[in-house]
Amino acid sequence: MTTSKGFGLISLNTEDSCPEAYGWRVVGPTPVSDPLQYIEDIRSFKIRNDDVLITAYPKCGTHWVWEITHMLLRQTTDYEKRCKEQVMLESKGGIARCEKEESPRILNSHFVFVHLPQEIIAKKTKIIHVWRNPKDTLVSFYHHFTSMGSILELSMANKLRLHTQFEYLQQMSKFEEDHPDHPIIHLCYEEMRKEPAKVIQQLARFLNVPANEEFCQKVADVCSFENMKVMNQSGQKTFPAEFSAARQPGVKSPEIYRKGVVGDWKNHFTVSENERYNDVINRAGEKGLKFKFIYQ
């Protein structure tokens, strides 16, 4: 069976074919032969009672939070030897690897809720949601994939094959409205950068694990952006072979940790682009977007 063009984040323009499932485009990190069946496989994935799920729009800090969560649940300040893609539900081979994972599993995904394992609702799986201001997110996409001008224009015209960050956040709010008793913690990327130990302590309480002030500070230090970047460049992480092999020919490996600073968008947006993108953000706010963004 030929690989579908509709599954793979690298090609961002909606002019490329892209299948839909449950009202949302099916867009993931690696190509698969049957995207719609893969969605069904993920939706029917069996959830364990002690699973934790990290969910976020791409480029919002999922790698960072996954490492912190690992340290809190394992009560260690040692880095996890594997990368988060090992237990990323939508990565190629991700379901099989997740099924073999020892408990408690720290699952992660960039998918919207209708594409996630549906057992998370009945089992009230703890969800860690990470969010970030859309301007820095867009700049991070630019460095990850393509040119700033093209991705900005596609984003403002809502022509990204991937749904917009605003649509993602709106479906997050809708999930909470529909399931008000579901345990969810929202972690703001900018607040984590400003007061990491404080946010880590809040996360520890949410996970119901012991974490005094000293331990949280140690985790914050080890997981500082600078240290995480050095660790990532050292090649310590084991990356799933299926994920690497599935990358499209000629596409560079993504840069996971680049700057991580708040407000880097100012170095990339022109005055005109900033004004136009503010209009996009304001329109999203008029549609009931509840998240308040921090830009500097």
| pLDDT tens digits, one per residue of 9-21 | 434 454 556 788 9
Using an 8 Å Cβ cutoff, are 123 and 49 in contact?
Answer: yes
Using DSSP bridges, classify how beta strands 184-188 and 126-131 pair: parallel, antiparallel or unpaired: parallel
CA angle 233, 103, 226 (to 5 degrees): 20
Place of tokens 């069996």: 46
Give me the pLDDT at residue 33, please: 79
DSSP category for residue 160: B
Q: In this structure, which amino acid lies at residue 241?
A: A
Q: Which domain holds residue 110?
A: 20-286
DSSP 240: P
Assess if residue 100 is contained within a domain.
yes
**Identity at 209, one-letter amino acid code:** V
Which pLDDT tens digit goes with each residue over 186-218? 999 999 999 999 999 999 999 999 999 999 999
Structure tokens at 290: 């509840």
Supply the angle between the helices 148-156 and 134-144 in degrees, to the nearest 10: 130
- pLDDT at position 83, please? 83
Q: What is the pLDDT of residue 6?
A: 37
Evaluate whether residue 151 is within a structural domain. yes
Q: Is residue 56 part of a domain?
A: yes
Sign of CA dihedral 243, 245, 246, 250: positive
Residue 156 domain-assigned (yes or no): yes
Q: Given this model, what pLDDT does residue 157 score?
A: 62
Q: How confident is the model at residue 229 (pLDDT cuts 50, 70, 90)?
A: confident
pLDDT bucket at 226, cuts 50 / 70 / 90? confident
Residue at 71 is within a domain: yes
Q: Is residue 259 in some structural domain? A: yes
- Strand 52-56 versus strand 106-109 pairing type: parallel
Report the percent of the chain where pLDDT is more than 90.
48
Whether 292 is covered by a domain: the verdict is no
CA distance 72 to 205: 10
- pLDDT confidence bin for 225, thresholds 50/70/90: confident
Q: Give me the CATH number covering residue 254.
A: 3.40.50.300
Cross-strand pairs, 127:
53, 184
Structural domains counted in the chain = 1
Per the structure block, which two tokens stand in for 99?
């099924």
Predicted TM-score (pTM) of this structure: 0.85
Share the mean pLDDT of the chain: 82
Of the given ranges (77-81, 151-155, 278-282), which has the lowest mean pLDDT?
A: 151-155
Confidence of residue 154 (pLDDT cuts 50, 70, 90): low
Cβ contact 220:198 at 8 Å = no
Q: Is residue 2 part of a domain?
A: no
